[in-house]
Amino acid sequence: MKRVGMILLLVIVLIVAFLGFKKYNTTDSILKKVQSDAGNNDTVTIFVGGYGSSPNAFNDMVNAFHNNGLTTEKIRVNITNNGKIDVDTKQKQLKNETIQVAFKRNKDPLYQEKLFPKVMKKLHLEYNVNKVNLVGHSMGGLIELAYLTGNHRNEYPKVIKFATIATPYKRFFKTNNNISRSVDQIESNLKNVPSNLQVLNMGGHINGKDSDGVVPVAGIKEFGPMIKPHVASYKERIFEGTEGQVQHSNLRHNSKVIDTLAEFLWK
């Protein structure tokens, strides 16, 4: 009887291991599928995290892209409390890198909104970054959207694609007057967004809830009607699952989110 129990346990372990292996390789194969399209890409992809975000917020995502040959180098831009911008690379001609933007004042979105254009200008003038994709998680998506609605043209990189993950929109900020006013201003300036921009908007839906635990699904979906009239294309994906899979912060580590983003950026 004990031997039968041991054999059954071994079978269960093997099944679990196989499923984990299959899941990993599914992601791996999808990333490799878009690898050939990324090979000759000359567009830098810039990541901005949300409220209170750490400098390592996108590590899983960035490492997956880099390890599968989609990008050439992992770079971080650090912005100090007094606004000093430090780019941690010795290269002066960036091409197909990933850049994580890390604000020391990571709980001050209005300050970040003010500084982000300076980051973009520095990358363009000092590092020859001419084309970029923007990826934002949560509040980071609004920081980037504010940039897109500004009058940033000749001295700044051209934005090709814009992807948001769990980014809240207007209804989320009714209790915060300063940010609510900023979102109102962003919405009124959507006409300034590049007309050839391609947009991907992603959110999470925890089973049994109407949100990712922080941002309501309705808050994610209200971006579509706002942006569609002003851009070349708009895609929306809501990922359903457990809290461990699609909770607000966990979306950055979700393999389906990573796959969807890779296909959007490099296909």
Average pLDDT over residues 16-40: 52
pLDDT at position 38 is 54
Average pLDDT over residues 98-118: 94
Between residues 52 and 21, the one the model is more confident about = 52
- All structural domains of the chain, each given as residue ranges with its CATH number in brackets, are 29-88+101-242 (3.40.50.1820)
Average pLDDT of every residue of the chain:
85
Q: Which of 106, 259, 262, 114 is nearest to 182 (CA)?
A: 114
Average pLDDT over residues 98-103: 97
Helices (H), ranges, the chain: 2-33, 35-38, 59-67, 109-127, 139-148, 177-188, 217-221, 223-227, 243-246, 255-266
DSSP string, 63-130: HHHHHTTS-S-EEEEEE-TT--EEE----SS--S-EEEEEESSTT-HHHHHHHHHHHHHHHHHHH---
Q: Which helix (H) or strand (E) holds 249?
A: none
Identify the band that residue 21 occupies on the pLDDT scale cut at 50, 70 and 90. very low
Q: What percent of the chain has pLDDT over 90?
A: 69
pLDDT of 200 higher than 90: yes
pLDDT at position 24 is 35
Q: What percent of the chain has pLDDT over 70?
A: 81
What whole-number distance in Å separates Cα of residue 20 and Cα of residue 70? 23
Between residues 184 and 96, the one the model is more confident about = 96
Residue pair 30/64 in contact (Cβ under 8 Å)? The answer is no
pLDDT at position 34 is 72
Side-chain-facing half-sphere of 16: CA atoms under 13 Å: 6
The reply to whether the predicted model has a pTM over 0.85 is yes
pLDDT of 119 higher than 50: yes
pLDDT of 4 higher than 70: no
What whole-number distance in Å separates Cα of residue 198 and Cα of residue 162? 6
pLDDT of 60 higher than 60: yes
pLDDT at position 26 is 43
Identify the band that residue 39 occupies on the pLDDT scale cut at 50, 70 and 90. low
pLDDT at position 169 is 79
